[in-house]
Amino acid sequence: MFKFKHHSRLLGLLFISSAFSLGYPGYLGASSDESLITAPSSQSALVLNSEKAKVLERTQELPTLIPPLLPAIFAQVSSPIPSQSLSDEFTTSRDYSPEAATRWTNKPGWTYPHEAVAAANPLAADAGLQMLKRGGNAVDAAVAVQMVLSLVEPQSSGIGGGGFMVVSKAGHVEVLDGREVAPQSATENLFLDDSGRPLGFKRAQLSNRSIGVPGIVAMLQQAHRLYGKLPWKDLIQPAIELCDNGFMVSQRLHQLLLQDKDLVRNSFAREYFYQPDLTPWPVGYKLKNPELSRILKDIASQGAKAFYTGVWAQAVVDTANNAATKFSDSTPDVDKRMSLSDLRNYRSLIREPLCFEMNTHKTESVGGEVGAGVGFGAGVGVGLGVDLKIGIEPGPYKVCGAPPPASGTLAMAQILGMLEHTPAKDLPFGAEWLHYYAEASRLALADRAKYVSDPTNPTNPTARVASTGLTAPETTSPTPDLTSGSSTHSTKISSPRNEQKTWQALISNAYLQERAKLIGEQRMSSPEPGIPVELPKSASFIQVGSMPNQPEHGTSHISVIDRFGGSVSFTTSIESAFGVHRMVNSGSGLKGGFLLNSELTDFSFSPTDEFGRPIANRPGPGKRPRSSMTPTIVLTGGTVGKPSQVYASLGSPGGSAIIHFTAQTLWAMLEWGMSPQEAINLAHFTIVHPNGELILEQNQFNDEWLNQLIARKQTLIQAPLTSGVQAIERTRGGLSGGADPRREGVVLGR
């Protein structure tokens, strides 16, 4: 393998040190010389341009911010295309690595004959496996996994957050939407200050403005009622036992606690996560959570109503509103934004999946060398021109995921669909392929910024433009009332005559073929959203604005395939690492509890664009914010009288980079014939907004790649990219699973 070296001929490339990641108490600061960048640690940051290359050592610890001039510097030294103007608090290392990088741990890849569970923590994966061994199915396993993750991976997900679950049973796919919703008090000005300007991201994230009504518990119970086999209480028991008996603090949790500077301000979190000297509990310390055990026991015996009513609902509201009696060491928020009725009225939704077809072209090798040996782990050999597994039959594969307000499947379908109309369809993994992928991404992200938001909420401005074909009358289907056990009506998107028409128009072959014509041999100058012919160019429609770039963080992913032929792909989140940094505790004297989300920061902070046009993803009462989650199930086969078979389940955490982590893994598995582990091990990349830099995983791309990309006018950044891809694939020999070496995940099965 080829180790990366610095060369002065590489223009406009920033090599961010491994310490440049979420929570590091340093920043890249401008000096009087615009070519100089202050490094964030004793390790080096390097800026190279045509005049000079200077390496500076860190001189002081400063807030985790990049100055607003940084994108302009990148554009000046490496590209004639100016970057989008961003405020200082919107251009941070969190755009590149939503959770801090810890360490690479080689994963061997796993094979099992019958069923498998992939999760971000071994204890959580084991809980899922135990449910399968007891006769449970994929949904049972997923519930058990999530409950344990609430304890052992609190920085990423938990019962204080939300998520999207894609379920496949006998070839039928449904999506459960457990996304957080904005309280009824929310307005489109939720994230504006008194002068009408958008709040800085950090200020918004740590305030009660960012907290959505949690949806995980409602969604899990709904999934269990629809599909589960084992008793509900049995699924929660592994998490209860770990709460009572304790779990060993992992290296990753310890490192993230060490780097976080805000969690200690919350008294309940401080008493639980930290020692008296305010240092985190050491790796291997057995940490118990009696308060979380108490609420999980109530949920196990009473169901979701234990969370959405009574003492625990009151605790959530008190925490969200920062009641002074419970948080005397914090500055109380002025407004009380969440109410008991917000929790009582929460509903998990069933949505029709968004599906698209993929055909394979059987590209059998990877072109050129890529990065350092660490980038591929487990002796994969990628980058040496080796042949990959042969014998994959050309599709079509049916790829299904969550529709909006989740944007991931839509964007992935657009990106991969456009690649089918470029030379990329026949290329191996190389700089040329990556250029085409980056350009397709820019066009998909431009559409995402304009179109995607909660399609069923009346505050969505596109929902009021009936003449565009964006929406149609809703249909409903009885789904359980999770607080009373009776039946009520929840929105179920079940016909292409509703908003599915919009999404299908945006991923139609004709539309993507036209969009692909905009992709050239060099980086495009100004990616703009398109308008499919199915959507009339009405004056009202044109008045809908595009959302500006904002950071997106956090999440965890779970994939399960069971022996019954069923599967779950489930992405779950509390948004930023440790969410809003507030721990829910009833005040009974027990330590611990659970963390609340900061998911509402996924709304557009500004309700209108610079021309005064409403932005689809602006806040509103009862509205679900746009998400990048991309839980994916792949089906194959399916004929008259014979249902489709689950071929794969995959997904990833990673903020807006989730889309690219998942799309790359899917393409590598289907187009390049890689195993899940080989695909996951590939060097990663991301683009966070249409005119943004191409961000490459640190130290994984060599001179040949970088020179070719720069020659195509791509603006490049290298930074840690802390993905957490989980994937399981059905093979002739059983199930093949992979877990991301960048985190602690494993695949367990039998």
How many residues belong to the chain?
Answer: 750
Residues 397 and 517 in one domain: yes
Q: Which residue has the tokens 């089918």?
A: 420
**Based on the domain organization, do 289 and 333 belong to the same domain?**
yes
φ/ψ of residue 387, rounded to 5? -70, 145
* Domain assignment present for 95: no
Q: Which two tokens stand for residue 507?
A: 């991923």
Neighbouring CB atoms inside 10 A of 595's CB total 30
Phi, psi of 255 (to 5 degrees): -65, -40
- Tell me the helix, strand and coil percentages in the chain, rounded to 5: 30, 20, 50
614-626 confidence digits (pLDDT tens):
999 999 999 999 9
Give the per-residue SS3 of 334-382. CCCCCCHHHHHCCCCEEECCEEEEECCCCCCECCCCCCCHHHCCCCCCC
Residue at 381 is within a domain: yes
Together in a domain, 366 and 504: yes
What lies within 8 Å, CB to CB, of 558 at 6+ separation is 117, 118, 119, 120, 124, 128, 142, 145, 146, 149, 568, 569, 570, 571, 572, 726
- Give the integer Cα–Cα distance in Å for 11 and 137: 53
Residues 220 and 247 placed together within one structural domain of the fold: yes
Give residue 18's pLDDT. 33
Averaged pLDDT, 642-651: 91
Amino acid at residue number 398: K
Asked if residue 596 and residue 664 are part of one domain, the reply reads no
pLDDT tier at 30, thresholds 50, 70, 90: very low
CA–CA dist 234, 130 (Å, integer):
10
Q: Which helix (H) or strand (E) holds 541?
A: helix 539-542
pLDDT grade for 366, boundaries at 50, 70 and 90:
low
Name the pLDDT band for 391 (thresholds 50, 70, 90).
very low
Q: What is the mean pLDDT of residues 463-476?
A: 35
Query: Does the pLDDT at position 423 exceed 70?
Result: yes
Element (H, E) at 729: strand 726-731
| 3-state secondary structure at position 15 | strand
- The answer to whether residue 181 is domain-embedded is no
For range 526-537, the mean pLDDT: 85
497 with 518, same domain: the answer is yes
**pLDDT at residue 103 in the model:** 79
| Reported confidence tier of residue 685, pLDDT bands at 50, 70, 90 | very high
Answer yes or no: is 614 within a domain: no
For residues 410-416, give the mean pLDDT.
98
CATH number of the structural domain spanning residue 480: 1.10.246.130
Cα-to-chain-centroid distance, residue 481: 28
Mean pLDDT computed over 580-589: 96
H helices of 134-231, in order, are 138-152, 201-205, 216-227
Cα 470-473-474 angle, rounded to 5 deg = 100
In-domain check, residue 98: no
Return d(Cα 175, Cα 467) in angstroms, integer: 28
**Residues 450 and 408 both lie in one domain:** yes
Number of domains in the chain: 2
Residue 549's pLDDT is what?
81
CA distance 99 to 659: 16
270 in any annotated domain = yes
26-40, 254-268, 296-310, 661-675: least confident range: 26-40
Structure letter (DSSP) for residue 421: T
- pLDDT surpasses 60 at 38: no
> In terms of domains, do 548 and 676 share one?
yes
Q: Same domain, yes or no, for 677 and 530?
A: yes
Tell whether 339 and 432 lie within a shared domain. Answer: no
The mean per-residue pLDDT over the stretch 115-125 comes to: 98
CB 236, CB 224: distance < 8 Å: no
Distance CA 160, CA 573 (A): 9
Cα angle vertex 347, ends 345, 348, to 5°? 165
**Amino acid found at 483:** T
Residue at 110 is within a domain = no
Least confident of 241-250, 331-340, 654-663: 331-340
pLDDT of amino acid 15: 34
The reported pTM is 0.83
131-170 pLDDT tens trace: 999 999 999 999 999 999 999 999 999 999 999 999 999 8
Residue 55 has pLDDT above 70, yes or no: no
In a domain, 276, yes or no: yes
Which pLDDT belongs to residue 14?
Answer: 35
Sheet holding 685-686, edge to edge: 53-56, 45-48, 13-15, 716-719, 694-697, 685-686
Same domain flag for 204 and 289: yes
Tens-digit pLDDT profile for residues 271-315: 999 999 999 999 999 999 999 999 999 999 999 999 999 999 999
Answer yes or no: do 398 and 336 share one domain: no
User: pLDDT band for position 491 (50/70/90)?
Assistant: very low
Q: State the residue range of the domain holding 726.
A: 354-552+627-696+722-749
Q: Would you state the pLDDT for residue 533?
A: 86
pLDDT tens-digit readout, 192-220: 999 999 999 999 999 999 999 999 999 99
| Closest by CA position to 130, among listed 235, 220, 204 | 235
Average pLDDT, the chain: 80
Taking residue 281's Cβ as centre, other Cβ atoms within 10 Å add up to 17
The pairing of beta strand 487-493 with beta strand 349-351: parallel
Bridge pairing between strands 567-573 and 162-169: antiparallel
* % of the chain exceeding 90 in pLDDT: 67
pLDDT for residue 708: 97
Query: Listing from the earlier edge strand, what are the strands of the sheet with 746-749?
Result: 476-480, 487-493, 349-351, 172-178, 162-169, 567-573, 556-561, 116-119, 746-749
Which pLDDT band holds residue 544 (cuts at 50, 70, 90)?
confident
User: What pLDDT is recorded for position 540?
Assistant: 54
pLDDT the model gives residue 276? 96
What is the band of 684 on the pLDDT scale with cuts at 50, 70, 90? very high
Which one is catalytic: 91, 555, 572, 686? 555
Q: Is 555 a catalytic residue?
A: yes
Q: What percent of the chain has pLDDT over 70?
A: 73
Q: Where are the beta strands (DSSP E) in 470-620?
A: 476-480, 487-493, 556-561, 567-573, 583-584, 594-595
CA-CA distances (angstroms) from residue 542 to 335, 405, 454, 629? 35, 21, 19, 27
241 CB contacts (<8 Å, ≥6 apart)?
A: none
